Amino acid sequence: MANHKSSIKRIRTSEKRRVENRYFARTMRSFIRKFRSLTDKSEATSSLPKVVSLIDKNAKRGIIHKNKAANLKSKLTRFITHL
């Protein structure tokens, strides 16, 4: 166990951030999974901005890298064209 006040606080804050980051990443992945399971092109086109926004927010927060966000968005837009 940590002995210093600062290290005790660091443990608390890092645990809180870890839980929040897992929540944001998990939510994004489930949205992407639901998006890829869509079969209707108009429904997919209407839900794309929501998914892209979620990906951008996670990239801004530092949960995923900006290049990974770009790759995901590219793949999802390609997915719509092939429906």
- What pTM was computed for the model? 0.88
Q: Mean pLDDT over residues 45-59, rounded? A: 97
Q: Domain spans of the chain?
A: 5-81
Per-residue model confidence (pLDDT) at position 2 = 84
Considering the four listed CATH numbers 1.10.3720.10, 3.40.50.300, 1.20.58.110, 3.40.50.10490, the one that applies to the domain covering 5-81 is 1.20.58.110
Residues 6+ positions from 56 with CB-CB distance below 8 Å = 69
Per-residue model confidence (pLDDT) at position 70 = 98
Helix ranges, the chain (H): 5-36, 41-61, 66-81
